[in-house]
Structure 1
Amino acid sequence: MTNTAAPALRPVLADRFVTRSLATDAALIAGGVAVMGVLAQVTVPLWPVPVTGQTLGVLLVGATLGARRGALSLLAYMLVGLVGLPIFADANGGFSSILLPSFGFVIGFVPAAFAIGWLSERAWDRHAARSLVGFFLASLIPFAIGLPWLAVALGNLGYPNDFAAVMAAGFTPFIVGGLVKWLIAAGALPLAWRLTGRR
């Protein structure tokens, strides 16, 4: 009978700067919430879903903190916004945010951060080609939740919510911005690892 050991996970970028502990994990999770809150206010106002810096924040927080801390940070971001802190796009906040057509994307941020964090724990964020693939895949996850949510919200508001209408409202306008954010994140992490001088 053979005993196959699971591959050891490599430290993520945050682990290069702090020692793992409950206190540092909590501080990093809170820091991720702050980063998201700031980037959410970098916005190009479009209806029904604004183009914001949030997706870039999701990718950077998830990759930098790893799967568990990244997902917890994005979950905390969502919960802090729901209890009333105006940290969603356009300084929105409060429980009524659930009714916004864009809220499904906020939910999708949590698994997206987990996914890119999981890949980063396996060193995908350290090499250009794998970084491009990993960040691209993680960028698609918010759409998997956000677009169905958008379809329901548009229908409830009396707007067309067929496939073409939903894609026109929640996907097509964001292709260019999404590509830019994907390339920024996919380039920033390998560069950051290179600058640390430790591979």
Structure 2
Amino acid sequence: MLSTRDLVLCALFAALLGGLGMAPPIPLGFLPVPITAQTLGVMLAGTILGARRGGLAALLFVLLVAAGLPLLAGGRGGIGVLMGPTGGFVLAWPLGAVITGWLAERFASGTSPVRLFAVSVVGGILAVYAVGIPWLALVAGLPIEKAALGTMAFLPGDLIKAGVCAFAAAAVRRAGILPLHA
């Protein structure tokens, strides 16, 4: 059972994911998909809220997008976007938040930015890519190698976001504002 505080935190982090979609996307030029800040929200949800609340926050966000709210970068939303070539990455966000949170609860329970960076990379990048890349290959009719290679253009930005997440989560934890475990 979720407490009122848990529900508020889930809603707050779902809103954070939406707000990060308002940050101007960085176009790559050679790919039709820009770099956005929203995966930072996935990592923050897991490292700050933990597996259960972080996963629920990301799931709430995905459900709002599925309902048609224009919460993704560029004001996109709806089932069509989620079923499109890049939809697998967005659909993987709840899984990414759960894995990030689970790892944070077990291996990064303190304020070490190094450990928080590592769990952000595993949950917020590797887990999301593990779902998104095969989805992209399937929906776009690409060989898996080509889909993976195209996705690697996003890796430097995602690593920067994992670093930002690590320092932000460490600061929140040091302040003792939110307990990691629900």
Taking structure 2 as the reference length, what is the TM-score of the superposition?
0.85
Q: Does structure 1 retain, via aligned residues, the 8 Å contact 2:70–2:77?
A: yes
Computing the radius of gyration from Cα coordinates, the structure with the larger value is 1
Q: Does structure 2 retain, via aligned residues, the 8 Å contact 1:127–1:190?
A: yes
2:8 maps to: 27
- 1:90-169 superposed matches below 5 A: 90-122=74-106, 124=108, 126-138=111-123, 139-155=125-141, 161-169=142-150
Q: Answer 1 or 2: higher relative contact order, Cα 8 Å, separation at least 6.
A: 2
Q: Does structure 2 retain, via aligned residues, the 8 Å contact 1:48–1:101?
A: no
Shift of 1:72: 0.9
Structure 1 pair 122/96, CA: closer, same or farther in 2 (3 Å)? same
**Where does the alignment leave 5 or more consecutive residues of structure 1 unmatched?**
1-19, 156-160
Percent same amino acid at aligned positions? 34
Q: Distance in 1 between matches of 2:85 and 2:4?
A: 36
Shift of 1:89: 2.0
Q: Distance in 2 between matches of 1:38 and 1:134?
A: 23
**Where does the alignment leave 5 or more consecutive residues of structure 2 unmatched?**
none
Q: Does 1:38 align with 2:10?
A: no
Match of 1:66 among 50, 53, 56: 50
Shift of 1:29: 0.9
Structure 1 pair 163/193, CA: closer, same or farther in 2 (3 Å)? same
Q: Does structure 1 retain, via aligned residues, the 8 Å contact 2:92–2:132?
A: yes
Q: Distance in 1 between matches of 2:174 and 2:93?
A: 27
Cα RMSD (Å): 2.3
Shift of 1:41: 2.7
Q: Distance in 1 between matches of 2:4 and 2:178?
A: 25
Q: Does structure 1 retain, via aligned residues, the 8 Å contact 2:84–2:139?
A: yes
Structure 2 SS opposite 1:92: coil
Q: Does structure 2 retain, via aligned residues, the 8 Å contact 1:56–1:181?
A: yes
